[in-house]
Structure 1
Amino acid sequence: MFPEFEVVPAVDMQDGQVVQLVGGERGTEKTYGDPVEAARRWIDAGAGTLHLVDLDGAFEGERKNAAAIDAVLDAVDDDVGVQLGGGIRTVDDAVSLLDRGVDRVILGTAAVETPEIVAEISESHPGSVLVSLDAKDGEVVVSGWTEGTGLDPAEAAQRYADRGAAGILFTDVDVEGQLAGVRTDPVERLVEAVDIPVIASGGVATVDDVVALRDAGAAAVVVGSALYEGAFTLAEATDAVDGS
């Protein structure tokens, strides 16, 4: 997974449309159109991986954008990786998606509530589970970033690495969607805590932010608002990483 640092475009879905939330708060979203059109746009721009999130599923606990996700999967070439999160709560949910063509499932709430789910899925589908550790005020939050867990991100990451997680997706909710820049300290702490890849997300506003997260040890960075708002292009971000 991510043998070289990669910039991964986000395709977050709510009510069948691409949206970006500010600080993880419902009601703050800005809409960016059809998910298939967005996916094709990023693939045409050179994306090697797409990051899909069913936001309705994340908030409500069951997948609400299955039709939109299926349409994206049908539109994606085999050489483009797909990681998907939001509303995946059971082993059967995860396995059905992996069998459908998703490369990696992202578990957040389910991993916190039932940690053994990570090992169970990893046993039958090695390398397929990313555990999402979304942090707000230094605490892991779940259920669409609405509920605190009392868990420290670095300590939690160690537990999931021991259970077979292929990687950790870390979202800094405090800066998510604000285009105000990233914080590298939490990412560095996670990278030091585990030997599996850490994928960073939240706050990216410039190509310098992308480079900073790479330098902090992240294996990849998920970018949403900055790409949709045209702060920089996918090619510019990739070139900045390759040239530094």
Structure 2
Amino acid sequence: MTHFPEFEVVPAVDVKGGETVQLVGGEPGTESSYGDPVEVAQRWLAAGARTLHLVDLDGAFVGERENAPALDAIVDAVGDAVGVQVGGGIRTVEGATRLLEGGVDRVILGTAAVENPAIVGEISETHPGSVTVSLDARDGEVVVSGWTEGTGLDPAEVAGRYEALGAGAILFTDVDVEGQLAGVNREAVERVVEAVEIPVVASGGVASVADVRALREAGAAAVVVGTALYEERFTLREAMDA
């Protein structure tokens, strides 16, 4: 499967308690709600999205797919019209495989991949290129379990390790700037891009079309945007045209 043959702006649909939300800096309790996830997904589709980024936020914190019904409903509603990547609470090979066989194009593994790197290879054996490993960095180190635990690992170094295990892409989130509309950390993204051959998808802090452009120039294959789109700082079309 080709990941992002050309640069893409990917809307994030983060689901908590069955609603579309955006958190500030990953902190529970900071969310703003944006309504029914299926309606939101269809709106992004109509606006020209080629890929959707779906995250089960409750799942990310508890380690189980808490919002599976809402996410499955989105996958059913959008069909093959767009690429769909799903993350949050996927901890097992079976869980990932079930999603991939149910119409999801890519699964995003964070905590599971850090705690058990072999899982990346196991899923990739049957579904090559379908695993995106999510590396969330705070103060330059990889953090797990909903951004609560530091690992002491360097994101660029770790990215190379997952590429060797068969990961199809890296999703790199800078937690320091996540959800705060404060701009992006271009240098951090460049370091990860330089460490691997596979596509790097950047996420966190995008506040303007200029930030989208900066991440593209840093070498990112795509950028995931949440808060800025929901708060209408710019439209999806404006970001794509940039």
User: Which band: TM-score by shorter chain?
Assistant: over 0.9
What's the counterpart of residue 150 of structure 1? 152
Q: Residue 135 of structure 1 is aligned with which of 113, 134, 137?
A: 137
- Structure 2 unaligned residues grouped into runs of 5+: none
Describe the SS at the equivalent of 1:26.
coil
Q: Do the aligned residues in 1 keep the contact of 2:79 with 2:103 (CA within 8 Å)?
A: no
What's the counterpart of residue 19 of structure 1? 21
Report the Cα distance in structure 1 between the residues aligned to 2:185 and 2:112, rounded to whole angstroms: 26
Report the Cα distance in structure 1 between the residues aligned to 2:19 and 2:53, rounded to whole angstroms: 15
Paired residues for 1:21-60 under 5 Å: 21-60=23-62
What's the counterpart of residue 221 of structure 2? 219
- 2:186 is the counterpart of 1:184: yes
Letter in 2 for 1:187: V
Shift of 1:77: 3.1
Describe the SS at the equivalent of 1:28.
coil
Report the Cα distance in structure 1 between the residues aligned to 2:119 and 2:61, rounded to whole angstroms: 20
Report the Cα distance in structure 2 between the residues aligned to 1:37 and 1:145, rounded to whole angstroms: 28
Q: Which ranges of 4 or more aligned residues in structure 1 deviate by more than 2 Å?
A: none
Shift of 1:149: 1.0
CA RMSD of aligned residues (A): 0.5
What's the counterpart of residue 7 of structure 1? 9
Describe the SS at the equivalent of 2:31.
strand
Report the Cα distance in structure 2 between the residues aligned to 1:63 and 1:122, rounded to whole angstroms: 21
- Structure 1 unaligned residues grouped into runs of 5+: none
Shift of 1:70: 1.1
Report the Cα distance in structure 1 between the residues aligned to 2:68 and 2:26, rounded to whole angstroms: 21
Query: Structure 1 length as normaliser, TM-score?
Result: 0.98
Report the Cα distance in structure 2 between the residues aligned to 1:186 and 1:85, rounded to whole angstroms: 22
Identical columns (%): 76
Deviations 1:83-137 (A, max 9, x none): 0000000000000000000000000000000000000000100010000000011
Alignment length (residue pairs): 240
Report the Cα distance in structure 2 between the residues aligned to 1:92 and 1:145, rounded to whole angstroms: 24
Report the Cα distance in structure 1 between the residues aligned to 2:231 and 2:101, rounded to whole angstroms: 34
